[in-house]
Amino acid sequence: MMSFGLYGTAFYMIVGFLFFFAVAKTLLPAARNLEIVRVVEVFVVFTTIAIVSFDISNRPFDIEGDTAVYINFYNDMRMGLDNPFQTFEPGFLAIVKLFCFLQLDYSSFFYFITFVFLWSYFALIKSVLGRGSSWSLFVFGMVLFYPFFFSLTANIIRQGFAMCFINLALISSVRSNWRQGGVFTLVAALFHKSSIVYFPFFVFRNLVLGVRVSSVVALWLVVSLASYFKLFSLLVVWIFDYLSGYGLVINYSNVDNIAYVTGFRWDFWLFSSLSVFFLVAIKMLGEMNKREAYIFYVCAFLSCLHIAMFDVAYNDRFGIYAWIFYPIELAYVMRAITANILRGSRRRVIEDRTNLYKGV
């Protein structure tokens, strides 16, 4: 589905300059022309987001995925026809009605979703990696080519818009504004109800922060084995039936009439397991800053949830809640490795000088 053909020449030119600027910022002394560097960074990121949003908002009607469905839905709503999708969340319907009231076409709607998603994601990158970190630009450039960014903005659009608020919630967690983060997760659920899976991480934040990494690994092993032997299959069906009894419509429980592969899949299992490996890595590297590393805990637990839901149709839409943050986690781990190597090099230099002094 996701083709680089969605992007035009202007995108590749500005992204090339973005990476060039990221390298220049890395080599530039930290204290030199700091304000100018920040202004240029904001301009480059803004221009990049504007071009990316334009390219994606003008994607072909017949691109594989749900684009055609959302375009037809938007046009029906704009002409005043009845909503054909009664399961769509009220927040999503409200934002569509607002754009229809303003007499904007569907491409403007797609542009808006892509734009706010990328801005919120870039703000999250800066919060986790630091405002002055050069890594943030490299991560942002990586996200633009990341398949799951395409998924959220060119296919599963409601979930993509909900993720804007999830990004704001995670930014709040980095700043220790837990109550504000919880509110953002509730707002996100108005645009895609599955986003409510983030809410417990803000309600039970102290419990999550108190969990040892070894306990997370143990949970991952148990869940993986249970999923492999299909112990979750009946449980998932029972949960969906139970929720349906309370009037909550679940779209992912019917696997009989769809061409979708369910059940344990090694590729899905391995990819979801990366978040657990990242968590173990930062623990071993001694970089367990609780506020910054909280996103690692969130992704690890959500990956376990995805592994447990392998027998559910479209389970990758739950996995994407963890997968979308892999670029940030990978950069954080790489930076930690680099920092450990540099500290080791400095330590050896000091030891060599000390031994030389003692020898003299």
Q: Residue 48 in contact with residue 115, Cβ under 8 Å? A: no
Q: Tens of pLDDT along 237-276?
A: 677 677 666 665 555 555 555 556 677 889 889 999 999 9
Q: Tens of pLDDT along 102-139?
A: 989 999 999 999 999 999 999 999 999 887 788 899 99
Last residue of a domain, one of 164, 194, 224: 194
Same-domain status, 10 and 56? yes
- Tell me what the pLDDT averaged over the chain comes to: 84
CA distance 59 to 72: 14
Average pLDDT over residues 72-89: 81
Same-domain status, 257 and 277? yes
Q: Residue 295 in contact with residue 170, Cβ under 8 Å? A: yes
CA distance 341 to 274: 23
CB-side exposure of 1: number of CA atoms within 13 Å? Answer: 19
Q: Tens of pLDDT along 299-341?
A: 999 999 999 888 777 778 888 999 999 999 999 999 888 877 8
Same-domain status, 85 and 176? yes
pLDDT of residue 1: 44
Structural domain includes residue 277: yes
For the chain, give the percent of residues with pLDDT over 70.
85
Instruction: Say whether pLDDT at 26 is over 50.
Output: yes
Pull the structure tokens for residue 106: 């569907």
Q: Residue 285 in contact with residue 340, Cβ under 8 Å? A: yes
Same-domain status, 49 and 108? yes
pLDDT of residue 68: 86
Q: Residue 273 in contact with residue 323, Cβ under 8 Å? A: no
pLDDT of residue 341: 81
Closest by CA to 172, choosing from 158, 163, 183, is 183
Domain count of the fold of the chain: 2
CA distance 95 to 191: 9
Same-domain status, 189 and 274? no
pLDDT of residue 114: 93
**Domain carrying residue 268:** 204-360
pLDDT of residue 184: 95
Same-domain status, 109 and 185? yes
Q: Tens of pLDDT along 31-62?
A: 556 777 888 889 999 999 999 999 999 888 87
Pull the structure tokens for residue 231: 């112990």
Same-domain status, 189 and 276? no
Structural domain includes residue 199: no
pLDDT of residue 349: 53
Handedness of CA 39, 167, 118, 289 (dihedral sign): positive
Structural domain includes residue 212: yes
pLDDT of residue 181: 92
Q: Which of 96-100, 209-213, 254-258 has the lowest mean pLDDT?
A: 254-258
Handedness of CA 305, 306, 310, 313 (dihedral sign): positive
Last residue of a domain, one of 141, 175, 194: 194
Same-domain status, 237 and 181? no
Q: Tens of pLDDT along 3-18?
A: 567 788 889 999 999 9
Last residue of a domain, one of 194, 228, 259: 194
